[in-house]
Chains A and B, each alone.
Chain A
Amino acid sequence: MAQPAPIVRMRGIGKQFPGVVALDGVDFRLLPGEVHALMGENGAGKSTLIKVLTGVYGIDAGSIELEGRPVAFSGPLEAQRAGISTVYQEVNLCTNLSVAENVFIGREPRRLGRIRWREMRRRAAALMARLEIDVDVTAPLSSYSLAVQQMVAIARAVDVDAKVLILDEPTSSLDAGEVAQLFRIMRRLKGEGIAILFVSHFLDQVYEIADRMTVLRNGRLVGEYRTAELPQVELVAKMIGRELADLERLEERPPAREGAPLLEARELGRAGAIEPFTLTIRRGEVVGLAGLLGSGRTEAARLLFGADRAGTGTLTVDGRQVALRTPRAAVRHKIAFCSENRRAEGLIPGLTVRENLILALQAARGWTRPLSRRRQEELVGRYVAALNIRPADPDQLIENLSGGNQQKVMLARWLILQPRLLILDEPTRGIDVGAKAEIQRLVAELSDDGMAVLFISAELEEVLRLSHRVGVLRDRRLVAALDNDDELTTEALMETIASGGRA
């Protein structure tokens, strides 16, 4: 089968940062009309490769060709003009403007300097129709979900006559239905001959959409494969470059727990956030919360932590009724909450690993009783080693760490407090396979040691792998609490989510 000439060809790309070789002799090619997945752990060089291609960084070695001509872009704008558009994980649009404006701002149709609104709306509507995005182009972008915003970003990107579309983790905050919608649009664009470079941590998604993939590890090219010819397990092995015993050990289901109830929520609810629900968490038990994005998973967790005040119901800890009005009260009962939004709600980017680690402990002790430097170092050293935080330098600024390692620091911060209930909201989202496995193993170990864990995740496989019981949420209601026995499969879970109760 004759392959079309590559639209992008990168040869022997090398890029160094002070003290780090980010890319070393990487070859990469992108064919028109294909979806090409760029795979690798965090720190493998995926982002650097994309940034090199779009001109954010210059290259130290190698060459880049676009349609056979050598190019060197000075920045994303120039790359965009040449036909390479990028849509990032965070939607970079102005949500206060209308959908039509977000697509066209900067290149509005004009006559004598006057913006032709009608023409702009007509063209925007036509573009949305072409991409089968069902929106009112005159409505402000803020009135639509993140998924739709992402699609509008893609519409903006492809309307500038794009030949190459780079999607950097576009699905990490979308639910299953929204991902399907995004994939439909990707297939359509692919059909139009646009080359799509796709970065995602969700292997299932990569296998669903990608034609070929390029695997990077530690800044080096591992290889280029056809998706159909590379089984998932082999892909993971190539990405992390080590045996998968860790992951596989977790495939066994954890045995059920018979401990005393640690926390019981009875008809706990909050208007507009989550309908009253009843949930018991035992000592040493991992309770998973499954459900689509916006189904009330985080809202339920926030009530248990006192981050929001419950409107109805009661909460008992150790059989005694408590009122958790603030997170501080929850911390006093040894409940810890690791937020899904680690950047905005958890880590403080300007502080070091050590400072971030001891923050919660120091807060719990009160500021009048500072931890001694020696005690700090001892604690930090222990947890950095236990969680395998890299780089293992406590005085490194937290913002310099990869997503997975930041997540581990968040976890460690709460573990220092030795909580009895650890609430983890999407702890593995957006982090690489290796770190994911480490966090999963850690959860299993903590639960073996008697810690109760409330585990929230959009990945049903992960929930099933770790949980003793699974609570299923749908439309802000806890519709089922299922024991994780042999009968419970991801299909059964999905069905429960879809039907709103066990059929």
Chain B
Amino acid sequence: MMAAFSPAVLARRAAVPRKYVPVLVTACLFAAMFAAGGVRYEGFVTGQVVLNVFIDNAFLLVVAVGMTFVILTGGIDLSVGSVVALSTMISASLLAGGSWPAPAVMVLVLAIGTVLGLAMGAIIHYFEIQPFIVTLAGMFLARGLCYTIGTESISITDPTFTALAQTRIDLFAEMWISPSVLIGLVVVLAAAYVLHYTRLGRNVYAVGGGEQSALLMGLPVARTKIAVYGISGFCSALGGLLLSFYMLSGYGLHAVGMELDAIAAVVIGGTLLTGGSGYLLGTVLGVLVLGLIQTIISFEGTLSSWWTKIFIGLLLFAFILLQRLISGRSK
């Protein structure tokens, strides 16, 4: 935990704007974990280890991007894990039926996720219900729908999906990534552009900073709030497609608890749960930190995978306290 706090102290002295401190802390944490892994395990400090983290977590990255939008407005989306599972299930069952071509399946899945998100956003805004409750309902609904399609795992044999699953995009020095990583990075870049360079993005921050103020400044609050849940729904559906490439199956028990991983990644990435403050780069780093914990534990070999949860739990405590310190001092 020393690594987590010393950069904050440094940043204050070195006059880094306070808003960058959380992202910086996460970056330092990632670097420290990477270095620690390198000291402890042979063959750890290679580019491919980092790339593998991306490959194994591309779906989480995409889902966390959507979650970042929602959390920036001060909301929360608990339905993402279930929507991911629903997406794998719809894909697998339609492809197994054989009458649907792969591209059509993808478009349909993305449309379903987006519509589901927009619907939840509309309910949240127009009926003034807490996002927690509405998306909790969405979570049960989507998970339940999985089982109306089938209770067993359905494997995917479609050539397009298997090709996307098995293709290796070679980089230099024998390093490679999967197409999913590429998709994930495109999503990250597009989302960063939207957040920073478009009115929608700035409105997201404004709504998170104060919904009432944003309304009085004449900003389209309704449209913004509904849009972020739509974006989150889209990202969940896309994350579901990436997970289908990764698992080559659809199953109602896929991605159980992924909403919590996504929230954890966003928070570890330095985004305030109260909204209005945070960066997409932080979310990427948050996902990387979560992935790296898993990698270290698999390198360790003897540790049970439940240690991942323990570390994530401790990290979350540390980061929430850090946020408290930062926002407390700025008053």
Q: Chain A residues near B198 (CB, 8 Å)?
A: 113-115
Within 8 A of B (CB), among A83-110: 88, 92-97, 101, 105-106, 108, 110
Task: Give the distance to chain A from B73, nearest Cβ to Cβ, in Å.
Answer: 12
Contact with A along B74-117 (1 / 0, CB 8 A): 00000000000000000000000000000000000000000000
Closest 4 CB pairs of A and B: A94-B209, A96-B209, A96-B276, A92-B216
Determine whether the beta carbon of A97 is less than 8 Å from that of B218: no
Within 8 A of A (CB), among B166-210: 196-199, 202-203, 205-206, 208-210
Q: Which of B202, B206, B217 lies in contact with A115, CB distance below 8 A?
A: B202
Determine whether the beta carbon of B203 is less than 8 Å from that of A105: yes
- Do A94 and B199 contact each other (CB < 8 Å), given the known contacts A105-B206, A106-B219? no
Is the CB of B277 closer than 8 A to any CB of chain A?
Answer: yes
Q: Chain A residues near B218 (CB, 8 Å)?
A: 76-77, 80, 106
Q: Once the chains are docked, how many angstroms separate the CA of A95 from the CA of B213? A: 10
Determine whether the beta carbon of A94 is less than 8 Å from that of B210: yes
Task: Give the distance to chain B from A464, nearest Cβ to Cβ, in Å.
Answer: 33
Contact with B along A126-148 (1 / 0, CB 8 A): 00000000000000101100000
Q: Once the chains are docked, how many angstroms separate the CA of A80 from the CA of B19? A: 32
Q: Once the chains are docked, how many angstroms separate the CA of A231 from the CA of B115? A: 66
Q: Chain A residues near B148 (CB, 8 Å)?
A: none
Closest to B198 in A: A113
Closest to A80 in B: B218
Determine whether the beta carbon of A110 is less than 8 Å from that of B199: yes
Is the CB of B212 closer than 8 A to any CB of chain A?
Answer: yes
Query: A93-B210, A97-B209, A105-B219 are known contacts; what are 11 more A-B pairs with Cβ within 8 Å?
Result: A80-B218, A92-B213, A93-B217, A94-B206, A94-B213, A101-B206, A106-B203, A106-B217, A115-B196, A115-B202, A143-B330
Contact with A along B47-61 (1 / 0, CB 8 A): 000000000000000
The 29 sampled A-B contact pairs (Cβ below 8 Å) are: A77-B218, A88-B216, A92-B213, A92-B216, A92-B217, A93-B213, A94-B205, A94-B206, A94-B209, A94-B214, A94-B276, A96-B205, A96-B208, A97-B205, A97-B206, A97-B209, A101-B206, A105-B202, A105-B203, A105-B206, A105-B219, A106-B203, A108-B199, A113-B199, A115-B197, A115-B199, A115-B202, A117-B197, A143-B330
Question: By DSSP majority rule, is chain B's interface helix, strand, loop, or mixed?
Answer: helix
Q: Once the chains are docked, how many angstroms separate the CA of A108 from the CA of B202? A: 10
Q: Contact residues of A with B, CB < 8 Å?
A: 76-77, 80, 88, 92-97, 101, 105-106, 108, 110, 113-115, 117, 140, 142-143, 156
Task: Give the distance to chain A from B217, nearest Cβ to Cβ, in Å.
Answer: 6
Q: Once the chains are docked, how many angstroms separate the CA of A115 from the CA of B205? A: 14
Determine whether the beta carbon of A92 is less than 8 Å from that of B212: yes
Closest to B199 in A: A108
Determine whether the beta carbon of B19 is less than 8 Å from that of A140: yes
Determine whether the beta carbon of A114 is less than 8 Å from that of B214: no
Q: Once the chains are docked, how many angstroms separate the CA of A98 from the CA of B197? A: 14
Q: Chain A residues near B212 (CB, 8 Å)?
A: 92
Determine whether the beta carbon of B202 is less than 8 Å from that of A95: no
Task: Give the distance to chain B from A197, nearest Cβ to Cβ, in Å.
Answer: 18
Q: Once the chains are docked, how many angstroms separate the CA of A84 from the CA of B272? A: 35
Q: Which of B196, B197, B208, B217 lies in contact with A105, CB distance below 8 A?
A: B217
Closest to B274 in A: A96
Task: Give the distance to chain B from A178, nearest Cβ to Cβ, in Å.
Answer: 19
Task: Give the distance to chain B from A383, nearest Cβ to Cβ, in Å.
Answer: 34
Q: Once the chains are docked, how many angstroms separate the CA of A370 from the CA of B208? A: 42
Task: Give the distance to chain A from B75, nearest Cβ to Cβ, in Å.
Answer: 15
Q: Chain A residues near B205 (CB, 8 Å)?
A: 94, 96-97
Determine whether the beta carbon of A101 is less than 8 Å from that of B197: no
Within 8 A of A (CB), among B193-247: 196-199, 202-203, 205-206, 208-210, 212-214, 216-219
Q: Chain B residues near A114 (CB, 8 Å)?
A: 197-198
Q: Chain A residues near B330 (CB, 8 Å)?
A: 142-143
Task: Give the distance to chain A from B129, nearest Cβ to Cβ, in Å.
Answer: 19
Contact with A along B153-171 (1 / 0, CB 8 A): 0000000000000000000
Q: Once the chains are docked, how many angstroms separate the CA of A116 from the CA of B129? A: 36
Determine whether the beta carbon of A95 is less than 8 Å from that of B219: no
Task: Give the distance to chain A from B20, nearest Cβ to Cβ, in Å.
Answer: 12
Closest to A114 in B: B197
Q: Chain A residues near B276 (CB, 8 Å)?
A: 94, 96
Determine whether the beta carbon of A106 is less than 8 Å from that of B199: yes
Determine whether the beta carbon of A76 is less than 8 Å from that of B209: no
- Do A76 and B216 contact each other (CB < 8 Å), given the known contacts A96-B276, A115-B199? yes
Task: Give the distance to chain B from A345, nearest Cβ to Cβ, in Å.
Answer: 16
Q: Which of B19, B203, B209 lies in contact with A95, CB distance below 8 A?
A: B209
Q: Chain B residues near A108 (CB, 8 Å)?
A: 199, 202
Within 8 A of A (CB), among B290-331: 330
Please indicate which of the listed interface residues A76, A115, A156 has the most CB atoms of chain B within 10 Å of its own CB. Answer: A115
Please indicate which of the listed interface residues B19, B206, B209, B330 has the most CB atoms of chain A within 10 Å of its own CB. Answer: B209
Task: Give the distance to chain A from B21, nearest Cβ to Cβ, in Å.
Answer: 13
Q: Chain A residues near B206 (CB, 8 Å)?
A: 94, 97, 101, 105
Q: Once the chains are docked, how many angstroms separate the CA of A52 from the CA of B213? A: 21
Within 8 A of A (CB), among B3-30: 19
Q: Chain A residues near B210 (CB, 8 Å)?
A: 92-96
Task: Give the distance to chain B from A34, nearest Cβ to Cβ, in Å.
Answer: 26
